[in-house]
Structure formats: structure tokens, C-alpha cells
């Protein structure tokens, strides 16, 4: 059918009406096609029949009218069938058809008037019959539209009926009546047929509507099913993505940057959005910082974007309260105003799906899925997927926190906090590994034991802060001196070690040692001042100097001590001889310890004389170690050992107590004659915090008069920490004890300091006395020391006087108090006792 009729769902729907009308027009044209030819033929036949009875002109005109009308209809019909006409345009065609129908009807109707010239009753009847036939034939043709048929039948039959009636004869009136009856009958018939057709069409279209509706429903179901399938597919994709993330190593190991990279990529794929951004909350929870942005395929790990709480409090609140926040149109969301203006709009973001991630209750950040261009509804499974992604971010962060904590723990356990270098534990571990590797590969390992010379001085004089700076600097310099694979460690204090692996030749090792010595001498800036330091290096080589870590380390340590002995600022290779000496050192230490316990110590006393007055004015107590095996050991051999091991403190205490007991005894024996007993104090003893207490107790417990006790301290010992020394010395003086400055002249103390020191006696060092008779210069120094003492109102005594010449020179210089082999060697207690009691007025 030319008019494309569509379906509609309801029977009384105006659309159905429209469709019915259009279909009626289709039918009119369809049947009309078959009717026009017979109609034209009929007209020709009639003209032939009446050719002899009617005016030719009239007849020809009539036939021409009928043929013309038919032709117009045929042309119209052809035009109709060639077009593809919309339902809305069907009215115009119907009207055109109606007009041609009227034309044709009029042409036929004219026959009823034109052919009256026949005028025989038979002819009249024939014409009437012919027109009735035409009307009858038109019934099926025009039945689709009853109005068309009625118009047609009226126009065809009315003229003949009217003309017959006008004749006013019985016969013609009768024929008119019959024609009228036929017309009415045909009208009714057509009406019936028409209503049948219309009914049929209505049903057809409404059924079609229903069918269509049914088809619609089923396609809807298909659509739903498709949607479900798509949803399923999406879910499958989502869970596939999540599964892949669960297996992702960067998430489980807490490698956050890598994890964000992967998570953002999954987000873009699964949620199909242009941009994904990840924001971290700062510690105060007052700002969000964007730390990863994926746009199209470009990752940006430094987007430098911040959102402040103060500017977008609603956004922060939203993150606090929800698991996901899906916003389909950010422009209309009032909560996001400033976020929208500052971030979303400039980036053309129109819809966001945010999923905050938390650690416990605290929001650590948010991942935003950003849609650009137009508004977008977010589905529930997209939201749930987004929230799963956020969980993965949280997981990565937690893993990273854990990793950092482990790293910190490992750092604490294995690295020195001050320098960041491996500590003793890690060093031992590395050395053990290096040794076993060297064993396998038949190679050497060199171990350097490095000690900073006189580091204690820096610490004591410039403070611990400066000491720390020095250690850090040395650590850095050591690192710069070695190869990349070598280990530099700090064992503690000022002791460093270096492990040199794969040592092909000894030159490499010595070169590194020289480099270290050189770099250590570079001044270290400490604020205003600078420290000039050196270091001593001990070297041991595996496997010759030891095959396990402990032995190798011990031997490097021994070699380092050798380097110190050799004047510091040098390196020494370990030798077996060193080992033997170290062993001896070790055994001596043990022996000294035992000696102290067993009281193998004794005191000798060296008398001091006043050559002018001619008598003993006091004695100096000098300790000796009486070893049952080795015999007498002199202080020079065990005092440094005692100092080093700390045994000097108990030893010194023993000396003080012993000396006090003796002092009380001799004080009594000498019955008030001026007399003192001098006791030497060592560095450590002087530095120990309880010296004052100990001396107080010793004096009290032994009953020795304080003024009899004279404590000797060396000049350099005092100069080391002037303020503290003054404090301690003053404390001792307050007890009534006398103080002597030992080895005076060697410590280069300035006069200013000397004046401040609470001392009673200066002891001119043996070195000057030794030279006094030989060199004028030393004689001059000795004399100036004596003068100095006099000026400062101090007693002065010369020690180490061995010859008469020395004595005379000293006397000439104004020093009458002397001690030395010239007068007496240090004596055993009994000998000294005899001396003091037996020769009250000793004369030379």
C-alpha cells in the first residue's frame, strides 16, 4: 500500500481513526483502478447504442466528459500509486479522489438528462437501468468511503429521477420510483459494506496496536535482559579487575606510587571515565593534596593541587560521612561550590564519583572518578567498585606504613643513629659474610680499625654537640675514601671500621689508608671555631691475621693501638709480635686486677729536704707492684695500664687510704714537727666525681690531719678542664689538704691560669733540673719558675736532683726544697720510718 500505515495500541484512539481513514483512501484508489476502465468502456458502448437516436454532438460531448473524467482519475491513480505518502498527507488525496469521483458522477449523471431525446418508455427504462447499473458497479468501488458513494449515487441518479418525474407520466414516474428505490437500496448496501470495511480496518489497526504493544513488551523484556547481561558482564569485569588488584604486588608490599598507578588504570577501564585523581589528607586533616592524576593515558604523580578544609568544609564532611559520594551533576550540587569553581570546572569535570579511604576511623584520602563533558548518573555497581578501589588504596597505605615501621626498626637495629652508618651488629654480620665469600673465592679481606686521635678533647672542650658534628663529618669522609661496595661502620665512640673486600694487592689498602689519614686532617668547621684532628688506623688482613670476624677485629684494634703508640696520625699493619704484646697486656691487666685484690701493692716513700734548714720536710708516696712472679714492677709500667682499664680508681683509693694511715702515724711520731706526705693523683682519679667524698672519708676514718696530706696533680691534668679543676681543688683545699702542681714547667700553663689555681706548691720538673747545671737557658727557666712561685706566694720544690752541681744551682736560684737520688731513693716504709725517727735533724 502506498500510504505507510503504522500501528497504534488502542481501538478508539484518534491515531487508529487516522490510520483507518488513510487505509480507506488506499482502498478507494485500489478499487478505483479497476472501475475506471469498465466505466469508460460502458460509456463507449452506450454511445454506440444510442448513436442513431441522439444528437451526435451531444453524445460525443458526453462520452468525452466520461472519458475525460475517467482519464483524470486514471492519472490521479497513477500519481497516487507512484508516491510514498505519509498518513498525515492522506486527506488531500482523499479530497482529490472525491472531486474526480464527483466529476465522473456528474458525467454519468448528465447521461440521465442528455439521453431524454430517446423518449420511448423502453429507452427511458434502458437509460435508467444503465445508470442504476453504474451506481451498482460503484458500490464495491466506493464502499470504503460511504460519503463518496452517497455523493456519487446521488449525482448519478438524481438528474434522471428528476427528469423522469418532470415528465409527469405514469410510466416515467414509475421508472423514477424504481430508480429511486434502487438508489436507496444501493445506498444502504454501500453503507453496510462501508461500515463493514471500516469496522474491519478498525479492528485490524487496533489489533495491530495490540500486537505492536505485545511486540514492544517483548522487546522491552529483551532490552531488560540485554541490560542484565551487560550488568553481569560489567560485574564480571569489575570482579576481574578487583581480582587482579588483589594479586598486585605493589599493593601488598606497600609500594604506594606503583599501587596508585595500577589502581587508577583499573578505575579508568572499569568505570569508563576520563580522569581519576587520588588525594591524600594531610596530618592535620585540614587539607587534601592530589598525589596522583590519570588523565586519558597520562599519569601525573606531582599534580600540585590542594583543597583546603576552610574553603570546602562540605566536601570534607561528605568524605567523613559516606562510603561513596556519587554526584551526577556537579554544577547543581551546592556542597561542592568552591571545589567546583577551583578544580572541577576548570578541568571541565561535570560529574564525580568519590570514594574515601580510611585507616581505622580516620579518612586518609579520597579517590575521585571524574566524568567530563555532560552530566552522568553513576550506577550502584560503579559506586561499589569505586569503594573497593578505595579499599585497595587503604591497603597499600597500611602496607606502606608497616613497611616504613619495619624499615625504621631495621634502621634502628642495624644502623648508628648519629652517622647513619652500619652499627656494630650489622658490621659483624657484613664482616662474617665478606669473610666466607673471600674463603670461597680465595680472596683477602682487609679490615681497618680507625680511631680519632684526641677526640675526647673535642668533646670535653667544645661540647658533645661539636663532638657529634666531628663524628658525622668523619663518617662522611670515610665513605668518600672507599669504593662503592666497601662497608664503613661505626662501632661506637670515636671508633670506625672499614671492610675492604676483594683486595687484590696491598697497595690498594695502603692507598685507602693514606687517603683516610689525609682527609681526616682537613679542618672540621664547628660554628666559630674549627677542629684539627687526625686519626690512627690499625689494619688486619684475612686470612693471615684471622679467619673469623672477632679475631680479625681484635687484631685490627691491636694494630690501631700500635699506631697510637707510634705517635698517632699513621697506620700500622697487625703483626704477630703485636699480638704477643697485646696478650701480655691482657695478662697484665688480669694480673693487676688480681694484685689489687690480693694487695700486692706497696708504697715507697721518697723524702723531701730543705737544704737551708737541713731536714726532712716531707715524703712523696710512690706506688709499686710487688708481683710474686715478676718481682717489682714500676709505676711507669702499670699506671698507664691502670689508667686505661679504669683500675686506677680503686688503686688510687687504696694509695690514699694507705698514705693517710702512714701520715697519721708519722705525724704522731714527729710530734708536731712540720711534715707532709705527698700522694700522686691520676687523670681519672681527679676526674672521678667522688674524689672529694673519698678524701674526706679517708681523712676522717684514718684520723690523719688534713694539713699533712699533700695531693700532687700534674699541670696538664688541671689545664684540661680549668673550671672544673678549680672547683675540685678548692673543695680539697677547704678540707685543709695541700695541693702541689707536679711536673711544673712542662704544661705551658699561662700565668693567668696559674693565678686562679688554688695550689700551695710548685714542683719544678726533673727535665729542667737535669739541664740546670749544663744549660744556661734551662737554668734561667728554672730560676724564673722559682721567682714566679715566690711572686705568687707559693712553696717551690725541685725534683729529680741527682748531683751536687744541680743542688747548688737551685740553691743559688733561691730554691731550697729538693727531692732526688742525691738525697734519697724512694724508700720502703720501714726504712723511711727509721730515717724519720732516727735522724730527726738530718744534715747533709
Residues that bind Ca ion (CB under 5 A): 680, 712, 742-743
826 binds, among ligand C2E, Ca ion, none (CB under 5 to 8 A by kind): ligand C2E
10 Å CB burial of residue 750 (0-12, 13-18, 19+) is exposed
* Alpha helices by DSSP H, 346-503: 380-414, 424-441, 455-462, 464-481
Q: Kindly tell me which residue out of 622, 695, 764, 772 binds ligand C2E, with binding defined by CB under 6 A.
A: 622
Between 407 and 637, name the residue whose CB sits nearer to ligand C2E.
Answer: 637
10 Å CB burial of residue 86 (0-12, 13-18, 19+) is exposed
Q: Which stretch binds ligand C2E (CB under 6 A): 290-298, 432-440, 629-637, 686-694?
A: 629-637
The least CB distance from residue 674 to ligand C2E, in Å, is 21
The least CB distance from residue 689 to ligand C2E, in Å, is 17
Q: Which stretch binds ligand C2E (CB under 6 A): 190-198, 240-248, 409-417, 795-803?
A: 795-803
Taking the C-alpha atoms of residue 769 and residue 241, their distance in angstroms, rounded to an integer, is: 95
* Residues 700-759 within binding reach of ligand C2E (CB under 6 A): 742
User: Is residue 760 within 8 Å of 753, Cβ to Cβ?
Assistant: no
Q: Which three cell numbers stand for residue 536?
A: 690512627
User: Is residue 230 within 8 Å of 26, Cβ to Cβ?
Assistant: no
Select from 413, 423, 535, 417 the least CA-distant residue to 474: 535
The least CB distance from residue 668 to ligand C2E, in Å, is 23
Q: At what angle do helices 576-598 and 549-565 cross, to 10 degrees?
A: 90
* Residues 3-42 within binding reach of ligand C2E (CB under 6 A): none
Q: Kindly tell me which residue out of 639, 785, 786, 827 binds ligand C2E, with binding defined by CB under 6 A.
A: 639
Using the rule CB under 6 A, is 207 a contact of ligand C2E? no
Element (H, E) at 95: helix 90-114
Q: Kindly tell me which residue out of 43, 115, 623, 781 binds ligand C2E, with binding defined by CB under 6 A.
A: 623
CA angle 260, 266, 268 (to 5 degrees): 100
Between 571 and 686, name the residue whose CB sits nearer to ligand C2E.
Answer: 686
The least CB distance from residue 619 to ligand C2E, in Å, is 12
Taking the C-alpha atoms of residue 731 and residue 751, their distance in angstroms, rounded to an integer, is: 22
Q: At what angle do helices 170-246 and 121-142 cross, to 10 degrees?
A: 10
Q: Kindly tell me which residue out of 77, 447, 826, 827 binds ligand C2E, with binding defined by CB under 6 A.
A: 826
8-44 burial code (b ≥16 CB/10 A, e <16)? bbeeeeebbbbbbbbbbbbbbbbebbebbeebbebbe
42 binds, among ligand C2E, Ca ion, none (CB under 5 to 8 A by kind): none
The least CB distance from residue 662 to ligand C2E, in Å, is 12
Q: Kindly tell me which residue out of 209, 747, 800, 813 binds ligand C2E, with binding defined by CB under 6 A.
A: 800
Q: Is the peptide bond prior to 543 cis by the omega test (within 30 degrees of 0)?
A: yes
Between 333 and 743, name the residue whose CB sits nearer to Ca ion.
Answer: 743
User: Is residue 371 within 8 Å of 386, Cβ to Cβ?
Assistant: no
Using the rule CB under 6 A, is 615 a contact of ligand C2E? no
Helices (H) and strands (E) in the chain, counts: 28, 23
Between 713 and 779, name the residue whose CB sits nearer to Ca ion.
Answer: 713
Using the rule CB under 6 A, is 828 a contact of ligand C2E? no
Using the rule CB under 6 A, is 606 a contact of ligand C2E? yes
- 346: Cβ–Cβ under 8 A, 6 or more apart, which residues? none
754 binds, among Ca ion, ligand C2E, none (CB under 5 to 8 A by kind): none
* Residues 640-669 within binding reach of ligand C2E (CB under 6 A): 652, 655
Between 48 and 634, name the residue whose CB sits nearer to ligand C2E.
Answer: 634
Taking the C-alpha atoms of residue 597 and residue 595, their distance in angstroms, rounded to an integer, is: 5
CA of 336: how far to CAs of 19, 327, 329, 356, 357, in Å?
53, 10, 10, 16, 19
The least CB distance from residue 695 to ligand C2E, in Å, is 14
The least CB distance from residue 612 to ligand C2E, in Å, is 19
The least CB distance from residue 712 to Ca ion, in Å, is 4
The least CB distance from residue 620 to Ca ion, in Å, is 6
* Alpha helices by DSSP H, 531-647: 549-565, 576-598, 635-645
The least CB distance from residue 788 to ligand C2E, in Å, is 20
Between 474 and 621, name the residue whose CB sits nearer to Ca ion.
Answer: 621
820 binds, among ligand C2E, Ca ion, none (CB under 5 to 8 A by kind): ligand C2E
Strand locations in 682-773 (E): 709-714, 738-744, 761-764
The least CB distance from residue 743 to Ca ion, in Å, is 5
Between 58 and 803, name the residue whose CB sits nearer to ligand C2E.
Answer: 803
Coil, helix or strand for 606? strand
Taking the C-alpha atoms of residue 334 and residue 329, their distance in angstroms, rounded to an integer, is: 10
The least CB distance from residue 608 to ligand C2E, in Å, is 10
Q: Which three cell numbers stand for residue 475?
A: 663518617
Using the rule CB under 6 A, is 608 a contact of ligand C2E? no
Instruction: Give me the 85-124 binding string for ligand C2E, x by CB under 6 A, dash otherwise.
Output: ----------------------------------------
Using the rule CB under 6 A, is 635 a contact of ligand C2E? yes
Using the rule CB under 6 A, is 820 a contact of ligand C2E? yes
Q: Kindly tell me which residue out of 52, 374, 597, 636 binds ligand C2E, with binding defined by CB under 6 A.
A: 636
Residue 482 is given by DSSP the state S
Q: Which stretch binds ligand C2E (CB under 6 A): 367-375, 490-498, 546-554, 677-685?
A: 677-685
Taking the C-alpha atoms of residue 47 and residue 68, their distance in angstroms, rounded to an integer, is: 15
Between 51 and 634, name the residue whose CB sits nearer to Ca ion.
Answer: 634
Taking the C-alpha atoms of residue 781 and residue 745, their distance in angstroms, rounded to an integer, is: 8
CA of 138: how far to CAs of 101, 484, 552, in Å?
10, 115, 131
- Interface contacts to ligand C2E, rule CB under 6 A: 606, 621-623, 634-636, 639, 652, 655, 680-682, 742, 799-802, 820-821, 826
Amino acid at each position: 500500500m502506498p500510504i505507510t500505515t503504522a500501528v497504534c495500541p488502542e481501538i478508539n484512539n484518534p491515531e487508529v481513526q487516522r490510520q483507518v481513514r488513510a487505509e480507506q483512501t488506499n482502498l478507494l484508489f485500489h478499487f478505483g483502478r479497476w472501475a475506471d476502465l469498465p466505466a469508460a468502456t460502458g460509456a463507449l458502448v452506450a454511445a454506440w447504442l444510442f448513436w442513431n437516436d441522439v444528437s451526435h454532438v451531444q453524445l460525443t460531448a458526453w462520452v468525452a466528459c466520461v472519458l475525460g473524467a475517467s482519464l483524470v482519475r486514471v492519472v490521479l491513480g497513477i500519481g497516487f500509486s507512484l508516491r510514498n505518502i505519509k498518513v498525515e498527507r492522506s486527506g488531500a488525496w482523499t479530497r482529490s479522489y472525491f472531486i474526480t469521483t464527483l466529476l465522473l458522477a456528474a458525467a454519468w449523471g448528465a447521461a440521465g438528462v442528455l439521453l431524454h431525446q430517446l423518449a420511448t418508455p423502453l429507452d427511458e427504462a434502458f437509460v435508467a437501468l444503465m445508470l442504476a447499473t453504474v451506481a451498482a458497479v460503484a458500490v464495491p468501488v466506493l464502499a470504503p468511503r460511504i460519503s463518496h458513494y452517497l455523493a456519487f449515487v446521488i449525482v448519478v441518479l438524481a438528474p434522471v429521477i428528476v427528469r423522469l418525474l418532470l415528465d409527469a407520466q405514469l410510466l416515467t414516474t414509475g421508472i423514477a420510483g424504481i430508480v429511486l428505490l434502487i438508489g436507496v437500496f444501493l445506498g444502504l448496501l454501500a453503507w453496510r459494506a462501508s461500515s463493514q470495511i471500516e469496522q474491519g480496518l478498525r479492528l485490524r489497526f487496533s489489533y495491530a496496536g495490540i500486537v505492536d504493544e505485545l511486540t514492544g513488551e517483548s522487546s522491552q523484556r529483551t532490552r531488560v535482559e540485554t541490560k542484565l547481561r551487560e550488568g553481569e558482564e560489567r560485574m564480571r569485569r569489575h570482579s576481574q579487575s578487583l581480582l587482579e588488584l588483589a594479586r598486585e604486588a605493589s599493593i601488598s608490599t606497600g609500594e604506594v606510587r606503583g599501587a596508585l598507578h595500577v589502581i587508577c588504570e583499573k578505575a579508568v577501564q572499569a568505570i569508563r571515565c576520563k580522569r581519576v585523581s587520588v588525594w591524600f589528607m594531610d596530618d592535620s586533616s585540614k587539607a587534601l593534596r592530589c598525589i596522583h592524576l590519570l588523565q586519558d593515558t597520562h599519569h601525573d604523580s606531582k599534580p600540585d593541587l590542594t583543597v583546603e578544609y576552610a574553603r570546602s568544609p562540605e566536601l570534607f564532611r561528605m568524605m567523613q560521612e559516606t562510603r561513596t559520594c556519587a554526584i551526577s551533576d556537579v554544577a547543581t550540587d551546592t556542597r561542592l561550590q568552591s571545589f567546583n569553581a577551583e578544580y572541577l570546572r576548570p578541568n571541565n569535570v561535570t560529574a564525580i564519583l568519590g570514594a574515601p579511604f580510611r585507616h581505622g576511623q580516620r579518612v586518609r584520602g579520597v579517590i575521585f572518578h571524574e566524568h567530563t563533558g555532560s552530566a552522568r548518573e553513576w550506577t550502584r555497581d560503579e559506586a561499589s567498585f569505586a569503594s573497593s578501589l578505595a579499599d585497595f588504596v587503604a591497603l597499600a597505605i597500611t602496607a606502606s606504613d608497616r613497611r616504613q615501621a619495619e624499615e625504621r626498626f631495621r634502621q634502628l637495629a642495624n644502623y648508628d643513629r648519629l652517622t647513619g652508618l652500619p652499627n656494630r651488629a650489622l658490621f659483624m654480620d657484613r664482616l662474617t659474610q665478606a669473610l666466607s665469600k673471600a674463603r670461597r673465592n680465595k680472596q683477602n679481606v682487609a679490615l681497618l680499625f680507625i680511631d680519632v686521635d684526641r677526640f675526647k678533647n673535642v668533646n670535653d672542650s667544645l661540647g658533645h654537640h661539636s663532638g657529634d658534628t666531628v663524628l658525622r663529618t668523619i663518617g662522611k669522609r670515610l665513605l668518600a675514601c672507599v669504593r662503592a661496595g666497601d662497608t664503613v661502620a661505626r662501632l661506637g665512640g670515636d671508633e670506625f671500621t672499614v671492610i675492604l673486600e676483594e683486595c687484590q694487592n696491598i697497595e690498594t689498602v695502603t692507598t685507602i689508608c693514606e687517603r683516610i689519614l689525609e682527609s681526616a686532617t682537613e679542618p672540621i668547621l664547628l660554628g666559630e671555631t674549627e677542629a684539627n684532628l687526625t686519626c690512627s688506623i690499625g689494619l688486619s688482613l684475612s686470612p693471615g691475621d684471622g679467619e673469623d670476624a672477632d679475631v680479625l677485629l681484635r687484631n685490627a684494634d691491636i694494630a690501631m693501638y700500635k699506631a697510637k703508640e707510634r705517635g698517632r696520625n699513621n697506620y700500622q699493619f697487625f703483626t704477630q709480635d703485636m699480638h704477643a704484646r697485646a696478650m701480655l697486656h691482657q695478662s697484665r691487666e688480669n694480673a693487676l686486677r688480681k694484685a689489687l685484690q690480693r694487695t700486692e701493692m706497696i708504697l715507697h716513700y721518697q723524702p723531701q729536704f730543705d737544704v737551708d734548714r737541713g731536714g726532712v720536710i716531707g715524703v712523696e708516696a710512690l706506688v709499686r707492684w710487688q708481683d710474686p712472679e715478676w718481682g717489682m714492677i714500676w709505676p711507669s709500667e702499670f699506671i698507664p695500664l691502670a689508667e686505661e682499664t679504669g683500675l686506677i680508681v680503686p688503686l688510687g683509693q687504696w694509695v690514699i687510704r694507705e698514705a693517710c694511715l702512714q701520715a697519721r702515724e708519722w705525724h704522731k711520731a714527729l710530734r708536731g714537727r712540720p711534715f707532709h706526705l705527698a700522694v700522686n693523683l691520676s687523670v681519672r682519679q681527679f676526674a672521678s666525681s667522688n674524689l672529694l667524698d673519698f678524701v674526706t672519708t679517708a681523712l676522717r676514718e684514718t684520723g690523719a690531719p688534713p694539713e699533712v696530706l699533700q695531693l700532687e696533680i700534674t699541670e696538664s691534668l688541671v689545664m684540661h678542664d680549668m673550671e672544673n679543676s678549680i672547683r675540685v681543688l678548692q673543695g680539697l683545699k677547704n678540707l685543709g689538704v695541700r695541693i702541689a702542681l707536679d711536673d711544673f714547667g712542662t704544661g705551658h700553663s699561662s700565668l693567668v691560669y696559674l693565678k686562679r689555681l688554688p695550689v700551695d706548691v710548685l714542683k719544678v720538673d726533673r727535665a729542667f733540673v737535669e739541664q740546670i747545671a749544663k744549660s744556661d737557658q734551662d737554668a734561667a727557666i728554672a730560676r724564673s719558675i722559682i721567682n714566679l712561685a715566690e711572686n705568687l706566694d707559693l712553696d717551690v720544690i725541685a725534683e729529680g736532683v741527682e748531683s751536687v752541681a744541680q743542688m747548688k744551682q737551685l740553691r743559688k736560684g733561691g730554691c731550697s726544697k729538693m727531692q732526688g737520688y742525691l738525697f734519697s731513693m724512694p724508700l720502703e716504709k720501714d726504712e723511711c720510718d727509721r730515717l724519720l725517727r732516727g735522724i730527726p735533724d738530718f744534715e747533709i
